[in-house]
Chain A
């Protein structure tokens, strides 16, 4: 059974501050890791797809790193803005077994 764990569950950050949170996954049989942003009353949207150990992805103020050997990925947000308030999900698809299992997410609240 694939367990994808995310921490913290919830996070309050002052506007302008930078923050990061973690996704951990079993390192054996790793194939890929997805990060999604899920805004209230909307559906999840993909931020990054990461496959290689040491991979770093960036989109504006948001970036992510991947360590497949130790089984974790970090998502960083630089200079938080109110529009960054959302739930951030990570998910792992396995190649042999095509299930895509999600973590429970990190709920980010940006305080004005």
Chain B
């Protein structure tokens, strides 16, 4: 497998523009996570999906941020409008946890993409 694939690797945009980050998880994984890396907060969880369904988006900083997962092989993170303080590296990660009677059957180590470095001027 090629691993988790993110695009673009680098994005430079101007304040106010729309930014769309993309992620292809590892085939067969049932969880997908979006994280943001900043100096102040480290790896900050934004949102995660289970079987394409958003489970918890409480980490999404503002309404300007939205994420979708239309199918098992694709997810997007959108920022509209972008602001300079959104500048960071955004990571997508996927894992397999499985479920049996409501309990995870696998402890689900994360496999990360290479990240998308966003700079908003």
Instruction: Give residues in A with beta carbon < 8 Å to B.
Output: 31-32, 34, 36, 42-46, 49, 51, 89, 91, 93, 95, 97-105
Contacts and interface: CB of A to CB of B under 8 A. Distances in A.
Contact of A46 (B31, B48, B56, B110): B110
B43 interface: yes
Interface size class of B (residues with CB under 8 A): 20 to 34
23 contacts: A31-B104, A34-B110, A36-B110, A43-B91, A43-B114, A44-B43, A44-B112, A45-B112, A46-B109, A46-B110, A46-B111, A93-B104, A95-B103, A95-B104, A98-B50, A98-B55, A98-B56, A100-B48, A100-B108, A100-B110, A101-B45, A102-B43, A104-B42
What is the predominant secondary structure among interface residues of chain A facing chain B?
Answer: loop
Contacts of B107: 31-32, 34, 49, 51, 93
Contacts, number: 61
Given A49-B107, A51-B107, A102 B42 contact: yes
Q: Choose among B55, B107, B113 the residue with the greatest number of A CB atoms under 10 Å from its CB.
A: B107
Nearest to A50: B107
A94 B79 CA distance: 28
B78 interface: no
A98 to B, nearest CB: 6
A90 to B, nearest CB: 11
A38 B115 CA distance: 12
A103 B110 CA distance: 14
